[in-house]
Structure 1
Amino acid sequence: MEENELFKKRLLFSLMAVLLVLSGCAGFQTGKENEVAAEADAEGKVVVDFWTFWGSEIRRPVIEKIVEDFNKSQDEIVVKHTFVPWGDIWTKELAAIAAGDPPDVVINDINATALRGQKKQAMNLSEFLEKDDISARFYPELWEATLYEGDSYGIPFNTDTRILYYNKDAFEEVGLNPEQPPKTWDELKEYAAKLDKKNGDTYERLGFYPLFGVNYDVWMLNGSGHNFVSPEGEVQIDTETNLETLNWLLEWKNHYGENVVNSVKSQIDSQQANPFFTGKLAMFVNTPTFYTQIRDYAPDLNFGVAMLPEKEEGSGHTSWGGGFVAEIPEGSSHPEEAWEFIKHLTDKEAQEYWAVKNYDNVANTEAAEAAAKSPDMPEKDQVVYQTAVDNMQNTLLTPFPLAAPDFPTLLNPEIDNVLLGKKTPEQALKDAQAAVEQLVEENKSK
């Protein structure tokens, strides 16, 4: 929902005021970071301020090792890692840009990279890429998401995708081949029906429910193979394929009933009690990093992984993914030095290290392939990670369309109305199409 202009101005003023206060208290630096900066200044090196939201006990040591390796690799630049919490980092970045004192590198959402380029919040990287064209390092879909009017405004760092997890023991129990997961939506329904287990009116096991782990948009993308709004502003919501997908989702909801769905979902939301861990849910869609939860909470679970089933044979196993980029904010004091660090951050060695230590999908294709075969990963880890790497060829990103960046605020309520039984799928798609088309026209006239 678009914010009121007065509210935005007041928010920006407040954030700038907070920033100025914090700047007087050495910003967001820890004591150790201050020592590094002071030492670097004394040595006459350029200090590059690098902001991330990676402050956990797992991820922070990994990113700081990558920073340390860069600092040791040369004697002209020192990168200072500044942790800013997830809920604060981008509002503080915008306030810092407005105040004329932004960080030199920041990790940001890939789907809004072009939008930030359009708004002149991120620096155009074309001058650096003319000298060091590193675009071939990355998955094409990720690179395309960084472009605005043909120029890149961010360098891909990490990504994700969605895959199907399934319980091999449950498959064997009902006579299904545990090495042959469902390949189409029809097979998915057939398998789920066999895997359902009831005791009277109570489900002891659900075969599958498509809205556990992902939302409706993943299945619409899976069915159609394209985004809701094209880069040119063509709205593609009220389509026959989307109608079929919505009706398909309703069939699943009606099959199990709202009470059953809500009960199982509450268990999924608790993580440790996820019914997939205990065999009460036979198939489940999630990110490859969901495997780390299986490893932690259900290490003996006999499971397999596969690409998402396609709507029908030949329609494609389209999945959905997102990710993050390394950007140089507009107004950076040290863009050349920031670029040198970004090249290090996204090269094979640093990316493979991040992938293996965090079990995270990385944007560098060579590093991703190497991580899947790394001796530092146990065999089961390698299997899941390789599936994720293979699935990148099917993975669709959804960059915010410049013609209608906030269109989900118009589409999501309409789909909710369908799932709540307040509108027919036909009416909801028609209304959403009209609303988003109007939004595109309004944006064109600005």
Structure 2
Amino acid sequence: MTMKKEMGTKSLPMLLKGLLLIGLLLAAACGNNASNEGQQSNAGPDSTNAASNAAPETVKDPVNLKFLYIWPEYEAIMNETIRLFEEKNPHIQVEPEIVPWDKAIEVMQTKVAANQAPDVSFGWTHWMAPFVNEVDAAMPLDDYLQQDPAWEQSFIRSDLLDISVVNADKPFVSNIPFKLSFQVVIYNKKMFSDHQLEVPQTREQMEQTMEKLAANGIIPLAASGKDGQIDMLKDSFAGMNFVKNGTAQGAWLAGEESYESAEYIEAMELAKQWFSKGFFGKDAFAVGNDEIANLLLTKRAAMILGNNNQIPTLQEQVDDELGAFLFPAAEGLKIQAPLTADGFFVLKTTQYPDEAVEFLKHLTSEEVQKLWASQSKSMPVLQNLNTGDETLDGLIDQIAASATDYPVQKLTYNPAELSKQLQAAFAEYLLNANADVTASAKKMEADHRKAIESSQ
């Protein structure tokens, strides 16, 4: 008992000391926790701000793209197209300028010479020689296309991009197609039905169809000699002759073949034969395209040579349903679609090549192509993208199915002025019943050579 009391008495102070020590330790721990919590609480906002300031959003420098195009009649649609692009690219502003279609090349050449060229300009895919050979203004687009295979492979025909390669020494794509534009035959379906006619599948059938219509006092195929439609048809005949004879190579590919060749002579003679029979109308060289269209609308002509872009406007003005087809090839040959397009190119002088190409991609996007197809009945350049218009979609199918293995001409010179001279010489040949085809071809070839030499 005594021993237990002694031990209990001695243990009490030690127990109190132990409890006191534990209390101090707990207090210290609580103090440290409070201090840490305070530090964390105080550090929270600062660390959040530091994190947000560490990776700020990149602010892109403003870009102003100057953009030249034609079609004042489609200004509202183009403005919507630009708005959609700027909405997706808020740092880019597109500044548009509209010029008349028949002054586009002249205006652009003047701007290039004066160092006032836009960043992106309108240009026909098949007439890029003035901006590649003459003034060396078009920027190569091959690298951009190769870096984006989906874009490169999106077009309706695999060879559509190749049209703008116009120089063997500069073998690059210089133009991106925007909407298809080419010569077609537009016809009145009811008039065909009334005369038990079907759409001809060959050039020989086409001639038989025109014979029947002419016998009934109807202009078979109204065409303007004044505005070059008959001249274009003659060139189409010649092209088919070169393909048929296996001579569509060398000089022909560069548009430098001789107008005195057998292929051209044969084409000129066929055109004159049709002209003499009245197939194009008696006043073909006295009327322009507007008057030709009126012949179709008033049913004095069953067919006209026109452009695919005319079809929607003409259809609005006539009750009868209109149709259209590519001019048929001679028997034994596949139809060669006149694969030309209204397109755009980037100028070498642009300070914003990447942004300019992004704008080209936007113009050929499915969204924009659908917009133009629905609001202007333009023929899209993309695969499997129809307009909803039976006539236009039929042409698109013909384009997609037409021959892709035919050689394509890539002119090395500006054909604009030459075309006027050749049209005048060809008109003299057609209008003069006694004109010698060889002499006429010789005169045309002389003008042809001058145009080629002036571009070199």
- Report TM bin, short chain: 0.7 to 0.9
- Taking the aligned partners of 2:289 and 2:187, their CA distance within structure 1 comes to 15
Which residue type is aligned with residue 120 of structure 1? D
- Structure 1 contact 163–388 (Cα < 8 Å) conserved: no
Aligned to 2:147: 131
Report the secondary structure of 1:361's partner residue.
coil
Report the secondary structure of 2:282's partner residue.
helix
Moved over 6 A (4+): none
- Taking the aligned partners of 2:204 and 2:232, their CA distance within structure 1 comes to 19
Aligned to 2:366: 348
- In the alignment, structure 1 residue 436 sits paired with structure 2 residue 448: yes
Aligned to 1:359: 377
Aligned to 1:170: 191
CA deviation profile, 1:78-98 (whole Å, cap 9, x unmatched): 323333444655544444433
Report the secondary structure of 1:269's partner residue.
helix
CA deviation profile, 1:125-150 (whole Å, cap 9, x unmatched): 34434533533233344311222422
Q: 1:189 to 1:359 in 2, by over 3 A?
A: same
- Taking the aligned partners of 1:403 and 1:54, their CA distance within structure 2 comes to 22
CA deviation profile, 1:192-230 (whole Å, cap 9, x unmatched): 2222356xxxx4x22335657822232432453368953
- Taking the aligned partners of 1:76 and 1:267, their CA distance within structure 2 comes to 46
- Taking the aligned partners of 2:141 and 2:313, their CA distance within structure 1 comes to 38
Which residue type is aligned with residue 45 of structure 1? P
Q: 2:398 aligns with which of 390, 403, 409?
A: 390
Q: 2:332 aligns with which of 314, 318, 328?
A: 314
Q: Once the 2 structures are TM-superposed, how far is the Cα of residue 232 of structure 1 from its aligned partner? A: 4.6
- Taking the aligned partners of 2:116 and 2:421, their CA distance within structure 1 comes to 35
Aligned to 2:312: 292
Aligned to 2:207: 189
Q: 1:121 aligns with which of 105, 112, 137?
A: 137
**Relative to structure 2, which stretch is displaced further, 391-400 or 331-340?**
391-400
- Structure 2 contact 224–287 (Cα < 8 Å) conserved: no
- Structure 1 contact 153–327 (Cα < 8 Å) conserved: yes
Report the secondary structure of 1:196's partner residue.
helix
Q: 1:43 to 1:321 in 2, by over 3 A?
A: closer
- Structure 1 contact 162–319 (Cα < 8 Å) conserved: no
- In the alignment, structure 1 residue 304 sits paired with structure 2 residue 323: yes
Q: Once the 2 structures are TM-superposed, how far is the Cα of residue 343 of structure 1 from its aligned partner? A: 1.5
Which residue type is aligned with residue 230 of structure 1? W
Aligned to 2:290: 269
Aligned to 1:328: 346
- Structure 2 contact 187–303 (Cα < 8 Å) conserved: yes
Q: 1:196 to 1:416 in 2, by over 3 A?
A: closer
- In the alignment, structure 1 residue 161 sits paired with structure 2 residue 182: yes
Aligned to 2:431: 420
Aligned to 1:81: 96
Q: Once the 2 structures are TM-superposed, how far is the Cα of residue 419 of structure 1 from its aligned partner? A: 0.9
Q: 1:343 to 1:403 in 2, by over 3 A?
A: closer
Q: 1:239 aligns with which of 237, 249, 261?
A: 261
What value does the CA root-mean-square deviation take over the aligned residues?
Answer: 3.5
Which residue type is aligned with residue 49 of structure 1? K
Q: 1:353 to 1:398 in 2, by over 3 A?
A: farther
Report the secondary structure of 1:100's partner residue.
coil
Q: Once the 2 structures are TM-superposed, how far is the Cα of residue 47 of structure 1 from its aligned partner? A: 1.8
Which residue type is aligned with residue 125 of structure 2? I
Q: 2:69 aligns with which of 27, 33, 52?
A: 52
Aligned to 2:278: 256
- Structure 1 contact 238–433 (Cα < 8 Å) conserved: yes
- TM-score, normalised with respect to structure 1: 0.73
- Taking the aligned partners of 2:296 and 2:83, their CA distance within structure 1 comes to 40
Q: 1:215 to 1:322 in 2, by over 3 A?
A: farther
- Taking the aligned partners of 2:254 and 2:215, their CA distance within structure 1 comes to 48
Aligned to 2:15: none
Report the secondary structure of 2:301's partner residue.
coil
Q: 1:318 to 1:210 in 2, by over 3 A?
A: farther
- Structure 1 contact 404–443 (Cα < 8 Å) conserved: no
Higher-Rg member (1/2): 2
- Taking the aligned partners of 1:359 and 1:247, their CA distance within structure 2 comes to 37
The percentage of aligned residue pairs carrying the same residue is 18
- Taking the aligned partners of 2:449 and 2:429, their CA distance within structure 1 comes to 20
Q: Once the 2 structures are TM-superposed, how far is the Cα of residue 74 of structure 1 from its aligned partner? A: 3.1
Report the secondary structure of 1:371's partner residue.
coil
- Taking the aligned partners of 2:395 and 2:206, their CA distance within structure 1 comes to 19
- Structure 1 contact 184–310 (Cα < 8 Å) conserved: yes
Which residue type is aligned with residue 313 of structure 2? Q
Q: 1:125 to 1:403 in 2, by over 3 A?
A: same
Aligned to 1:208: 221
- Structure 1 contact 163–319 (Cα < 8 Å) conserved: no
- Taking the aligned partners of 1:325 and 1:264, their CA distance within structure 2 comes to 30
Report the secondary structure of 1:156's partner residue.
strand
Q: 1:167 to 1:54 in 2, by over 3 A?
A: closer
Q: Once the 2 structures are TM-superposed, how far is the Cα of residue 288 of structure 1 from its aligned partner? A: 2.1
- Structure 2 contact 222–284 (Cα < 8 Å) conserved: no
- Structure 2 contact 425–443 (Cα < 8 Å) conserved: yes
